[in-house]
Amino acid sequence: MAPFLSRRDLQFQLYEVLDTAALPSRPRFAEHSREVYDDVLNLAYSVAERYFANHLREADLHEPHVVDGKVKLPPQMEGAMRAFRDAGFFSAHHDEELGGLQLPWVVMQAVQAHFQAANISTSGYPFLTIGNANLLREFASEEQQAKYLTPLLEGRWFGTMALSEPHAGSGLADITTTATPKEDGTYAITGTKMWISGGEHELSENIVHLVLARIKSAPAGVRGISLFIVPRYRVGPDGQPGESNHVVLAGLNHKMGYRGTTNTLLNFGEGGETVGELVGEPGQGLAQMFRMMNEARIGVGMGAVMLGYAGYLASLEYARDRRQGRLPGNKDPHAEPVPITGHPDVRRMLLRQKSFVEGGLALGLYASSLVDDLHTGPEEERADTGLLLDLLTPIVKSWPSKYSQEALSDAIQVMGGAGYTRDSPVELYYRDNRLNPIHEGTEGIQALDLLGRKVTQSGGRGLTVLLERMSADLTASGDLEGVAEIRAALATAVAQSTAALRGLLAQAPALGPDRFLANAHSALEMLGHTVVGWMWLRQAAVAARKLPEARGEGADFYRGKLHAARFFAVHELPKVKAHADLLASADPTTLEMQEAWF
Ligand X SMILES: Cc1cc2nc3c(=O)[nH]c(=O)nc-3n(C[C@H](O)[C@H](O)[C@H](O)COP(=O)(O)OP(=O)(O)OC[C@H]3O[C@@H](n4cnc5c(N)ncnc54)[C@H](O)[C@@H]3O)c2cc1C
As annotated, the active-site residues are: 440
Looking at the DSSP bridge assignments, the partners of residue 207 are: 158
Q: Cβ 65 to ligand X, closest distance in Å?
A: 16
Query: Which one, 392 or 435, has the nearer CB to ligand X?
Result: 435
Q: Cβ 442 to ligand X, closest distance in Å?
A: 3
The residue from 55, 114, 255, 566 that contacts ligand X (CB under 6 A) is: 255
Shortest Cβ contact with ligand X: which residue?
169
Q: Rule CB under 6 A: is residue 163 a binding residue for ligand X?
A: yes
Site map for ligand X, 195-214, x if CB under 6 A? xxx-----------------
Contact segment (CB under 6 A) with ligand X among 33-41, 190-198, 465-473, 526-534 equals 190-198
Q: Which of residues 409-448 bind ligand X (CB under 6 A)?
A: 435, 438-442, 444-445, 448
Pairing of strands 233-235, 263-268: unpaired
Cα–chain center distance at 338: 38
Q: Rule CB under 6 A: is residue 170 a binding residue for ligand X?
A: yes
Q: Residues 527, 460: contact at Cβ < 8 Å? A: no
Q: Rule CB under 6 A: is residue 267 a binding residue for ligand X?
A: no
**Residue closest to 287 by CA, chosen among 163, 385, 125, 370:** 163
Q: Which of residues 38-97 bind ligand X (CB under 6 A)?
A: none
Q: Cβ 112 to ligand X, closest distance in Å?
A: 16
DSSP 212: E
The residue from 91, 263, 519, 522 that contacts ligand X (CB under 6 A) is: 263
Q: Residues 437, 401: contact at Cβ < 8 Å? A: yes
Q: Cβ 470 to ligand X, closest distance in Å?
A: 29
* Residue 31, number of CB atoms within 10 A of its CB: 10
Q: Which of residues 448-467 bind ligand X (CB under 6 A)?
A: 448
**CA distance linking residue 278 with residue 258, whole number of Å:** 31
How many residues sit close enough to ligand X to count as binding (CB under 6 A)? 23
**CA distance linking residue 532 with residue 575, whole number of Å:** 13
Site map for ligand X, 355-374, x if CB under 6 A? --------------------
Q: Rule CB under 6 A: is residue 161 a binding residue for ligand X?
A: yes
Q: Cβ 164 to ligand X, closest distance in Å?
A: 4
Terminal-to-terminal C-alpha distance of the chain = 47
Residue ranges of alpha helices (H) inside 517-551 are: 520-546
Distances in Å between the Cα of 199 and the Cα atoms of 58, 262, 263 are: 21, 7, 6
Q: Cβ 224 to ligand X, closest distance in Å?
A: 18
Q: Phi and psi for 30 in degrees, rounded to 5?
A: -60, -25
| For helices 484-516 and 575-584, angle between their N-to-C axes, nearest 10 degrees | 30
Query: Which one, 471 or 590, has the nearer CB to ligand X?
Result: 590
Q: Rule CB under 6 A: is residue 266 a binding residue for ligand X?
A: no
Q: Phi and psi for 118 in degrees, rounded to 5?
A: -75, -35
Q: Cβ 168 to ligand X, closest distance in Å?
A: 7
Query: Which one, 94 or 209, has the nearer CB to ligand X?
Result: 209
| For helices 105-118 and 344-376, angle between their N-to-C axes, nearest 10 degrees | 140
**CA distance linking residue 360 with residue 13, whole number of Å:** 11
Query: Which one, 164 or 492, has the nearer CB to ligand X?
Result: 164
Query: Which one, 129 or 197, has the nearer CB to ligand X?
Result: 197
Q: Which helix (H) or strand (E) holds 181?
A: strand 178-181
Q: Rule CB under 6 A: is residue 591 a binding residue for ligand X?
A: no
Query: Which one, 300 or 408, has the nearer CB to ligand X?
Result: 300
Residues lying near ligand X in the complex (CB under 6 A) are found at 160-164, 169-171, 195-197, 255, 258, 263, 435, 438-442, 444-445, 448
